[in-house]
Amino acid sequence: MNTQTVLEVRNLHTHFFLRRGIVKAVDGVSFTLARGEVLGLVGESGCGKSVTALSIMRLLPRGGARTIQGQIWLDGTDILTHTPRQMRDVRGRKISMALQDPQTSLNPVFTIGAQLREALMRRLRAAQAAITQAAIAALRAVDIAAPEQRMGQYPHQMSGGMKQRVVGAIAISGHPDVLIADEPTTALDVTIQLQYLKLLKRLQQDTNMAILFITHDFGVVARMCDRVAVMYAGRIVECGKVTDVFAHPSHPYTKALIASVTKLKGSSGRLPTIEGQPPSLMDIPIGCRFAPRCPHAEQRCRDIYPPSFPINDTHTADCWQLAPS
């Protein structure tokens, strides 16, 4: 794997400005992604994973959503300084995103071929015949049988797994350096999910692209990812190699997540649960965001947000229990 950093997010803050208050959906996220690496971004619903991805893509909903602080370095350029016109040239060519629900991300009134050609016309300056051949090649790359016939079909004529492959074909058709996969297996059954993950891993190895893989499934992380970042209430609370985090989870939230995964061997008994609810993103605690739910919380946990403490050279966690005594 090439260790050259292709994407670096520094202290990213994305807020939603609503009439009833400010929702701090992403509140100080930082991470790096190397060329050829797969980084898993894990956390429960509402923790800010998808908003982080949309912030990187500069595709936040119009209106109250704004990235108010931070930097997003892509191939040495801070794309937060780009104009909308400049971002249109970056999307698809340098960074692309596969959305989690193909049922809503594919337009039902246009054929698959029309949607693929539209994406390619933005990325390639070529004749229509060449664009059509590139679209067929993109479908073939994601293992869609008879791609020439599929070009004339509509989304409703395909299964969920097939539509997910089409979304993947659109995302990789411009040969991006970075692919953001936002829970791409959520709508798939287990058999099709496994096929899609194998396909995505093969495409990543063939092209050496970096993947930010957003999921809530630790089983998918174990199969797909080199490193994992655990997110809670708008912050990354633990980050490290998958093997390190699974073997030695260091943040209480990570420990609770891993403990709640069903064990296939032996009798696991009653699965442990995480008591309480995540904090409101309009009223985030000044200290550790997990402190109200943590059985080991101390007064300093409630008063001051902990820094990132190193577990080893590549593994860190934000928890006062890890502070040197």
pLDDT at 241: 97
The residue among 232, 288, 280, 252 whose CA lies nearest residue 48 is 232
Using 50, 70 and 90 to split pLDDT, how confident is the model at 298? very high
Give the whole-number percent of the chain exceeding pLDDT 70.
97
CA 179/CA 161 separation, integer angstroms: 19
| Average pLDDT value over all residues in the chain | 90
pLDDT at 273: 81
Strands 77-78, 21-34: parallel, antiparallel or unpaired by DSSP?
unpaired
pLDDT at 205: 87
Using 50, 70 and 90 to split pLDDT, how confident is the model at 268? low
Neighbours of 169 (CB within 10 A): 27
Q: Is the pLDDT of residue 171 over 60?
A: yes
CA 324/CA 122 separation, integer angstroms: 53
CA 132/CA 151 separation, integer angstroms: 9
Using 50, 70 and 90 to split pLDDT, how confident is the model at 1? very low
pLDDT at 309: 97
Q: Is the pLDDT of residue 138 over 60?
A: yes
Residue 306: half-sphere exposure toward Cβ, Cα within 13 Å? 27
The residue among 288, 292, 277 whose CA lies nearest residue 322 is 288
pTM of whole model > 0.85? yes
CA–CA distance from 278 to each of 41, 274, 281, 292 (Å)?
17, 10, 9, 9
Using 50, 70 and 90 to split pLDDT, how confident is the model at 198? confident
The residue among 159, 175, 237 whose CA lies nearest residue 210 is 175
Give the bridge partners for 180, in sequence order.
97, 212
**Three-state SS at 64:** coil
Give the bridge partners for 316, in sequence order.
239, 310
Neighbours of 254 (CB within 10 A): 26
Using 50, 70 and 90 to split pLDDT, how confident is the model at 264? low
pLDDT at 237: 97
CA–CA distance from 91 to each of 94, 109, 174, 207, 288 (Å)?
6, 24, 9, 17, 35
Q: Is the pLDDT of residue 64 over 90?
A: no
Residue ranges with strand state E in the chain: 5-18, 21-34, 38-42, 65-74, 77-78, 95-98, 178-182, 210-215, 227-232, 235-241, 309-312, 315-317
